[in-house]
Every structure is written in structure tokens, then in C-alpha cells.
Chains A and B, each alone.
Chain A
Amino acid sequence: MKNTIRVERAIKDMTQAELAQKVDVSRQTINAIEAAKYVPSTVLALKIARLFGKTVNEVFELEEGD
């Protein structure tokens, strides 16, 4: 699953650690999600999307094979 977290962070000028703190997870979690190594739960995906003022579909996108 692709995501635009890295881009959204850049727009908001936010570091991984800051984002992690705001959605109450570890920095490793954000790093793994950005690297597409980990697919977040629905709750975490909703929290991240809400923080950026977007819908989940705008931040996360299905890839071929998902």
C-alpha cells in the first residue's frame, strides 16, 4: 500500500518524531509506514489522515497486488 505521509509531512514541515508523538506511536512505526514496510491499522490510518486534514483515501492508496 502506497502512502503520501512523507509528502504531507513536508507540507506541514513536520518530522517523523513529531508526527509519531501526535498520533501516539513510536518513530519507528512512522518510519516503517513511510517505507511501506508496515500497513497501519484502520485506527492509526484514520488518525494520521485526520492530522493532515485529509481522508484516508487521499493519504493511503492501494497498489497492484494488494
Chain B
Amino acid sequence: MKNKLLLPRICRPVGCIIFPLGAAWLLAGYVFNQKIFPFLGYNIKKGDDLVNFIFSKNFSADFNGELSILVTLFSLFMIAFSREKIEDEYVRSTRLHALQASVYVNFLLVAIASILFYSFSYVYVLQGNMYSILIIYILIFNYNLHIKPRFSKSEKL
């Protein structure tokens, strides 16, 4: 049985390259309030007939935030769900266990964060929650598949 719901193997290194860039872009926007690509923002001043019709005030928007979120999410998705070199039943089983474990760990983190964070700061918890489940999944899956067997006694005959 072949798992067809996976991305091609090349997506993994591509995701690994894009993720730090996306995460840096995201952090620059949220933490340091820096707009890395100013051309992604625009302002429409009051006075324009269309603007007067739709908006009561001057209208401005910036797509740095939206695009950085998408780039980060897609890069994590590419790392998490790209095909392994040999995609067999053990890899599928490991994938399933890692997904289950990541949901449990993420649930625990959100439960703890719900006690510790209040009011507006809780929004950051929810934003972090978008990435945390994928990050935890990637860590657990790769640890179980690639790192843990290195410490196994029956590695070689």
C-alpha cells in the first residue's frame, strides 16, 4: 500500500531553506514591528470617491504579516509531510505515532498556556499554536525515525 498523500522528497530540503527565512520575516514583523518588504503595504487616502464610498477613514493595509505567516506555515508543512527515501509501513506507523504524540503535547502546552496567559497576550498563544503542532510533529517524527535507532543495540550485526 502506497501513501499518496505526501509531498515529493525534494520539498523537504526546500522547506528547510525557506523556514528560517519565513520565521525571521515573521519575528521581524511581530516582535520588532519591522516591515521587511515595504512595497507589500499600501495607503489609500480619504478623498477618493471609491474610498469614501467603502471606508469612512483613510485605509491602509500591509501584507507582510499575512505572507510571512503563509511562508512559515507552508515551509513547515513541506518539511513535515514530504516523502522519506523509502516510504514503508514502519515509516507510516512512525508518522502516525508522531502525529498523535504531537497533538497530545500541543494540547498540554495550550492547556498550560491557558492558565498562564491572559487577555491580549493569549492571542500570541493561539498564533504560536498554529506552528507548534507542526514543529512538535517534525521533532518527534525525526527523532523516532533517524536519531533513536542510532542508540539501539541491534543497529548492526
Binding partners A and B: yes
Which residues in window 28-64 of A have CB below 8 A to B? 28-29, 31-35, 38, 40-41, 44
Question: A26–B84 contact, CB under 8 A?
Answer: yes
Say whether, besides A6-B157, A15-B157, A16-B157, A29 and B89 are in contact (CB < 8 Å): yes
Of B3-11, B20-28, B147-155, the one with at least 4 CB within 8 A of chain A: B147-155
**Chain B minimum-CB-distance residue to A5:** B154
Question: B157–A29 contact, CB under 8 A?
Answer: no
- The answer, among B88, B149, B153, B156, for a CB contact under 8 Å with A15, is B156
**Chain B minimum-CB-distance residue to A39:** B93
**Chain A minimum-CB-distance residue to B93:** A38
Question: A9–B157 contact, CB under 8 A?
Answer: yes
A15–B157 alpha-carbon span in the complex (Å):
7
Say whether, besides A31-B152, A35-B153, A24 and B88 are in contact (CB < 8 Å): yes
B54 CB, nearest partner CB in chain A, Å: 57
List of B residues within 8 angstroms of A32 by Cβ: 90, 149
List of B residues within 8 angstroms of A44 by Cβ: 89
Binding site for A on B (CB under 8 A): 84-86, 88-91, 93, 145-146, 149, 152-157
